[in-house]
Each structure stands twice: as C-alpha cells, then as structure tokens.
Amino acid sequence: MDFLLATTLSYLLLYNYVALFVVAFLAAFLFPLPSSAALLASGAFASQGFLNIYAVLIVALAGNILGDLTGYFLAQQYGKEFLMKIGFRKIIESKSFIGVEKILHDNSGSTIFITRFVGEIGPLVNILSGLTKMPFRKFFLYEATGELVYALVLGLLGYYVGSTWQNLTGTIELVGVGLIVILTAIIFTKRYFRKSF
C-alpha cells in the first residue's frame, strides 16, 4: 500500500468524518488525494461498525460537491486573469483553447458526469468549466448528479465488500480509465453523427 493512501486511512481512523470531508473536499478541489480509496475504505469501516454508512455517504457527498464548486467559482472569478498574469495569455487566446471550450460546452453533461468518477480529471474539468464560463445551473446539475452516483456506488461497494475492500483499489483505477475511453468515444461519435446528418 502506498504511503499517501496509508496516511489517509490513518487520518480517517483518527479523525473519522472530519478527515473524510477534508479528503473529499481537497481531492475534488485540486489535490491528488486518494479520495476513491478513502470512500471505499469508509464504506468498509461502516460495515464493520466503526462508522455510520449514512453519515459516510452524506459527508463524502458534501465534501465532493463543495470541492467541485470551489474550483469552479475560483476559476470563474479569477481563473483567466490569474493565468494571463503568469504567462498563459497565448494559450487562453489560442484556437486550441477555444476548441476545448466548444467540446466542453457541447458535451457538458457527459463530460462533467463521467469525470466525477476519475479523480485526477474531475478537478481539471471543474476549472475548465469555470474558465469557460459554463452556466452554473448546467454545471451544478451534472456535477451534483455525478457526485451523488459516485458517492453511492463507492460507499455502498465498500460497505458490501467489507474488509476485502483493498482488493478493489486497482479495479477502481481501471474503471476510471475505462470511463475516460467511453467519454472519448461519446464525443467522437456525436461529432461523427453531427457531420453525417
């Protein structure tokens, strides 16, 4: 087990729901923390009677949603200005960035929903959504729905498998990669149908 995951689990056992909230929030915001494994483990701890499964789901959901919204709002308010100041003006004003903006807005639902399940990509999508001024209601609808499904799936999966949850951590990463492949397929398929019809 890697050091970061072991440390996260220790904090979960020492500080329970506060640690779970902090990990979920920071991972959804920007930091590369093992939030999927932490939620899976928390579900398992709940099945063992150490935590309460309802509290685990609510706390994880709250942390994830607040982390997403923090990244979105900070990027929306200060993102472009900050990036331009530190020398990214050419990238922000480039055709490639405008292309990314278009892809994101045309596929906002599937992109935001699916990337909730991929820890490293989700925060980047939040920031891009803020930078490209995606309407808040649209962003929140798909983001909250995705986080709800994510919290339920992982939390209940951990609750179901109990003490053998560690066997699933590798599988979850594989599922995350698979979801990115699916998302890419969706985007290209829609573009193909649009051109053909």
- How far, in Å, are 75, 182, 183, 195, 197 from residue 186 at the CA level? 26, 6, 5, 14, 16
Q: Cα–Cα distance between 27 and 117 in angstroms, integer?
A: 12
Q: Rule CB under 8 A: say whether 178 interacts with another protein.
A: yes
Between 15 and 31, CB nearer to another protein: 15
Place of tokens 């996260």: 8
Q: Rule CB under 8 A: say whether 54 interacts with another protein.
A: no
Q: Rule CB under 8 A: say whether 162 interacts with another protein.
A: yes
Q: Rule CB under 8 A: say whether 18 interacts with another protein.
A: no
> One symbol per residue from 107 to 146: x for binding another protein (CB under 8 A), - otherwise; what is it?
x-xx--xx--------------------------------
Q: Rule CB under 8 A: say whether 19 interacts with another protein.
A: no
Q: Cα–Cα distance between 85 and 102 in angstroms, integer?
A: 24
Q: What is the DSSP secondary-structure string of 139-191?
A: HHHHHHHHHHHHHHHHHHHHHHHGGGGGGGHHHHHHHHHHHHHHHHHHHHHHH
Among 18, 32, 48, 89, binds another protein (CB under 8 A): 48
Q: Rule CB under 8 A: say whether 167 interacts with another protein.
A: yes
Q: Cα–Cα distance between 74 and 118 in angstroms, integer?
A: 21
Q: Cα–Cα distance between 111 and 105 in angstroms, integer?
A: 9
Q: Rule CB under 8 A: say whether 194 interacts with another protein.
A: yes
Q: How far is the CB of 17 from another protein (least distance, A)?
A: 14
Residues binding another protein (CB under 8 A): 1, 6-7, 9-10, 13-14, 45, 47-50, 107, 109-110, 113-114, 160-164, 167-168, 171-172, 174-175, 178-179, 182, 185-186, 189-190, 193-194, 197
